[in-house]
Amino acid sequence: MELKDNTVYDCSVIDVSKIHNEAGNITVVENGENIPFDVKRIYYLYDIPGGEVRGGHAHYELEQFIIAASGSFDVVLDDGKNKKRVSLNRPNLALHIVPGLWRELDNFSSGSISMVLASHTYDESDYIRDYKNFLDCKK
Ligand code: TYD
């Protein structure tokens, strides 16, 4: 399978809706409205021990929205040539990650929750988990 030649500059932080209310806010992500792909799967990381690093892989096809549903963390994007560190710390901000990029998540605050909206169901064959293999595929 071909790894897409996207770069870190194809990823952006999108300010999704926030419905403000004195009793608290609501953020809505809706297929066909404010997300550039249809969501097939949602998962979230939580109870992450201090200092832990997650991710450490690339995807052939999968697109994702990553949201700090609670607390904060960083996402380090890597296209084999450029790296970009993105800090997420608000539930109305979503990092859109296009396919073909290496990513790592670190700097998790205590109690943080990383919510991921994904364009496909889980498929291990969509992953590259070896960094050297990733670099070879990006050449
Ligand atoms: P992994 O992709 O290694 O986590 P991360 O990249 O966030 O550090 O996934 C951890 C485990 O969970 C691994 O055994 C695969 C499994 N998993 C599923 O079964 N379904 C899923 O949708 C995801 C994201 C992971």
pLDDT in tens, 50-105: 999 999 999 999 999 999 999 999 999 999 999 999 999 999 999 999 999 999 99
The burial class, CB within 10 Å (0-12 / 13-18 / 19+), for 55 is: middle
Residues with CB under 6 A from ligand 1: 41, 43, 45, 54-55, 57, 122
pLDDT surpassing 90 at residue 34:
yes
What is the CA 86 to chain-centroid distance, rounded?
A: 10
Which helix H or strand E contains 135, and what residues bound it? helix 131-138
| Atom 7, ligand 1: residue with shortest CA distance | 55
Residue 132, Cβ density class (10 Å: 0-12 exposed, 13-18 middle, ≥19 buried) = exposed
CA–centroid distance, 92 to ligand 1, in Å, is 24
State the pTM of this model. 0.97
